[in-house]
A and B are shown apart, each in its own frame.
Chain A
Amino acid sequence: MFRFLITRISVVIPTFVAVTFLSFLLIHLVPGDPIETRSGEHGITPERLAELRHLYGFDQPLWRQFLHYERDVASGDLGTSIVTQDSVWHAFLQLFPATVELSLCAILFAVLVGVPLGVIAAVRRGTTFDYGLMGVSVTGASMPIFWWGLMAILLFSVTLGWTPVSGRISDAMFVEPVTGFMLIDCWYSDDAGACVSAARHLILPMIVLGTVPLAVVARMTRSAMLEVLNEDYIRTARAKGLSAPRVVVIHALRNALIPVVTVIGLQVGSLLSGAILTETIFAWPGVGHWLVESVQRRDYPVVQGGVLLIATLVMLVNLTVDLTYGLLNPRIRR
């Protein structure tokens, strides 16, 4: 297990370096820079442009700018936003808990609903439930998030009034940020009303963001279960007189979960990209929406730092997934 862990971790380091290089290169390839982008209709005189480019180091050759950036990253300094003048770390730490909270709830929703549905569809293969579920999951996987989110708001928030329109909590309420996770902070503040408001605000964005992963998880669970249910050891278990639920849950599902866990891990990447749109529609103050704005503004330190941090997160999640395999199936460790 230890060797398995070391092998996996050793891949992370070169990936990390590659990400810093790519994030630096890609944003610098985009036309325009933050100074020109900010000048708008007023424009900027060539003298003032030269002065500001020198101030931010943009007049240096690209390779030198990259080396300075690498040196800063190695010492833990991700720089300061050119637009807000706030440190990238500080902004990320303020916003990241919101994205994590939303993404975690979305994946929990996808797993807690998707896995049982996939199991039932597999066990009831060929029935109306099975066909219905697969049809709904294809629809769910095909709906663009921005459309689905707006439709959900129109229906559930505006027409039916069941859920709030946007945000993390009612604008009239305040919860002192301690961890940045609203559900934890409101419990910490002992304000039941705020907790209820925070939970209500989470429902719709969680469902919208979790729809595609739910569809994927349900389908993958169904496929994996169908394969496992045809195995000899399942036939043996049935022949031994074990109850159907025991056969399905204890014997079949545990093995079927291996590919499902892979898919859940892969969903983290798509959750983060989906979070960008969901955060915009629901005014959810997370890192996705912060990054998109920074790209539009050509805020180099934020884009570079934000991409690096998110890539690190994705690598850590994939590492966790790999380690989970080892726990689920000891043969993989060898």
Chain B
Amino acid sequence: MHPAHRTAALACAMALFCSLASAKTLVYCSEGSPENFNPMLNTTGTTFDANEPIYSRLVEFKPGSTEVSPALAERWDIAEDGKSYVFHLRHGVKWQSNKTFTPTRDFNADDVLFSFERQWKDSNPYHKVSGGGYDYFNDMSFNKLLGSIDALDPYTIRFTLTAPQAPFLADLAMDFASIQSKEYADALQKLGKPEQIDQVPIGTGPFELLQYQRDSTIRYRAFANYWGPKPKLDALVFSINKDPAVRLAKLRANECQVMAFPNLADLPAIKADATLQLLEQPGLNIGYLAFNNQKPPFNDRRVRTAINMAIDKKAILQAVYQGAGQPAKNLIPPTMWSYNNEIQDFPYDPEQARKLLADAGFAKGFETDIWAMPVQRPYNPDARRIAEMMQADLAKVGIKTNVVSYEWGEYRKRVQAGEHQMAELGWTGDNGDPDNFFIPLAGCAAARPGGGSASKWCNQDFEALIDKAATLNDQAARAKLYEQAQVIMHQEAPFYLIAHSVVFMPMRKTVVGYEMSPFGRHQFDAVDLQ
């Protein structure tokens, strides 16, 4: 670069950042680096958080809620048969720009078409760009669900489905359904640098990306032409710190104002700190011990019920979750609509457990394995410890267990293959719909060999209820069916349901307007600093 041009570029960058340094800037202590800047390609919360400020979707979840609200689509019409959705797009939505690209047009239907076809069609020139792994698009079965997507005019787009899908709108609010700019994609393709769309992104969201220093910081600036309410912050910085003790130290020193994932052991100190506030919310998750319902003796309901009564859940919640968990009695968490609170959890009753085992022909007990995950998960802080506590409880009723573990990827693969007898696992909700829990964890399709269900449970009555619920658009009618399904699940006890973990969010008292997302997302467009 010519020295004069370099000086000019540096001066511009300095002027920009000098103005930002005196601007209202919030620093968020994040737990990790994003994999890239395209949420279509990833499944981790860390990457979704880094992309959340940049992109918008056709619809979005209301802050702090699982309710879907208009975003890039102002309104929509759903056909009677539930197989066709026509979205009327918002006019005047501006695209962000960067050093190499300035958009010449507003957002329109072409961008929506591009964003979905990129993930769907092999023939799309961007399908294989950046590895071509669209995990969520496939996991939500969009590859089979979508029949066609048609741009009826620049501001109207129709999605035609192969079958009715009640959670379809909620699916479109998920991160993988973020909208990218077709104009930017075309420009990059001409330059021979298509992968830059996922490294140097532009979106229509409340903040635009200024700079990413790998493993260090991500800097955003409020997007002046954002279609929604103007962010109260001028600038946002993600400061990447892997260690939770360091994140807390930074929070205390006011080097960051919000932090993610505190150590559970630090919660009392955070609560006692006069400069900090601690927000908390039950997570949209479930931690469980899945019985392999296709293997004896777990194919016998009496054995499964006996184990449910033999394990002291309260002790596990106290010792392992340390107050950061709610005992689970249903597969879906209490914050989710259709949660059946009428269901009574199994009591801790080792005597009754012994009687049930004797009825099932196991008066002298039996030997089996408990599989424990090798990693910490949002719904399970210490699987090994939980397994050991369960081992001790089960020994009291005559069930001798060995605790088994594998490397995480290997663990998941073997559980999927049904090699386990009892295995700890869990789930975090993606879209706030009960369907998103019941089908992958307890549906018959997921119970087939190689399917994702750890319980390998297939109950035709349960299946009929959730299948019917997925086709209805009326939430109240769906809720009734899911409530009945939960009763069947409780009677059959295919799992030992452990807990729904509570999510904590420490921040400085100067932070106002932050709403905790049930999905664990961190959104800053409505946040302010006093």
**Any chain B CB within 8 A of the CB of A310?**
no
Query: Is A298 a contact of B219 with CB atoms below 8 Å?
Result: no
Complex interface bits, A15-49 against B, C-beta within 8 A gives 1, otherwise 0: 00000000000000011110111111111111010
Q: Contact check, B410 vs A31: say whether CB atoms are below 8 A apart.
A: yes
Q: Chain A 140-168, CB within 8 Å of chain B: the 1/0 string?
A: 00000000001001100110010011111
Task: Identify the closest chain B residue to A289 (Cβ).
Answer: B215
**Chain A 36-64 per-residue mask, 1 if CB under 8 angstroms from chain B, else 0:** 11111111111010001001000000000
Residues from chain B with a CB closer than 8 A to the CB of A31 are 406-407, 409-410
The one of A30, A176, A283, A289 in contact with B10, judged by C-beta atoms closer than 8 angstroms, is A176
A266 to B241, CA, bound (A): 30
A216-241: CB near B (< 8 Å → 1, else 0) gives 00000000000000000000000000
**Which B residues, 381 to 420, have Cβ-Cβ distances below 8 Å to chain A?**
406-410, 412-413, 415-416
Which A residues lie within 8 Å of B33 (CB)? 293
Q: Chain A residues near B252: list those with CB within 8 A.
A: 158
Quick one: closest B residue to A189, CB to CB?
A: B10
B243:A95 contact, CB within 8 angstroms? no
A84-B35, A158-B253 known; A285 vs B215 contact (CB < 8 Å): yes
Is A262 interfacial (CB-CB < 8 Å)?
no
Tally inter-chain residue pairs, CB-CB below 8 A: 153
Q: Which of B139, B242, B416 contacts A283 (CB 8 A)?
A: B242
B217 on the A face (CB < 8 A): yes
Chain B residues with Cβ below 8 Å from A85 are 36, 41, 130-131, 195, 198-199
Docked pose: A83 CA to B416 CA in angstroms: 23
Cross-chain contact B249 with A154 (CB below 8 angstroms): yes
What band does the interface of chain B fall in when counting residues whose beta carbon is under 8 Å from A?
Answer: 35 or more
Q: Cβ of A300 < 8 Å from any Cβ of B? A: no
Residue of A41, A168, A283 most packed against chain B (CB within 10 A): A41
Q: Are A166 and B407 in contact (CB under 8 A)?
A: no
Q: Is the Cβ of B410 less than 8 Å from the Cβ of A166? A: no
Of residues 99 through 144 on chain A, the ones whose CB sits less than 8 Å from some CB of chain B are: none
- Indicate with 1 or 0, residue by residue over A283-313, a CB within 8 angstroms of chain B CB atoms: 1011001100100001000000000000000
Q: Given A40, A91, A158, A290, which contacts B43 in the complex, CB threshold below 8 Å?
A: A40
Which residue of chain B has its CB nearest to the CB of A279? B215
Q: How many angstroms from the CA of A293 to the CA of B44 in the assembled complex?
A: 14
Interface residues of B in 410-459 (CB under 8 A from A): 410, 412-413, 415-416, 425-428, 440, 450-452
Q: Does A72 contact B (CB under 8 A)?
A: no
The complex places the Cα of A82 from the Cα of B130 at a distance, in Å, of 9
Q: Does A94 contact B (CB under 8 A)?
A: yes
B216 interface hit (Cβ, 8 Å): yes
Interface residues of B in 209-236 (CB under 8 A from A): 211, 213-217, 219
B245 within 8 A of A: yes
Q: Could you tell me if B138 and A48 are in contact, using CB atoms closer than 8 angstroms?
A: yes
Set of chain A residues within 8 Å of B406, measured between Cβ atoms: 31
**Contact: B139 with A42, CB < 8 Å?**
yes
The docked-state distance in angstroms from the alpha carbon of A168 to that of B406 is 37
Binding site for A on B (CB under 8 A): 9-10, 13-14, 17, 20-21, 25, 27, 33, 35-36, 41, 43, 130-133, 135, 138-139, 195, 198-199, 211, 213-217, 219, 237, 239-243, 245-246, 249-250, 252-253, 255-256, 377, 406-410, 412-413, 415-416, 425-428, 440, 450-452
15 A-B interface contacts by CB (under 8 A) = A31-B409, A32-B408, A41-B425, A41-B426, A46-B450, A91-B214, A94-B214, A98-B216, A153-B245, A153-B249, A167-B217, A174-B219, A283-B239, A285-B213, A286-B215
- A residues near B, CB below 8 A? 30-33, 35-46, 48, 52, 55, 82-86, 91, 94-95, 98, 150, 153-154, 157-158, 161, 164-168, 170-174, 176-177, 189, 191, 280-283, 285-286, 289-290, 293, 298
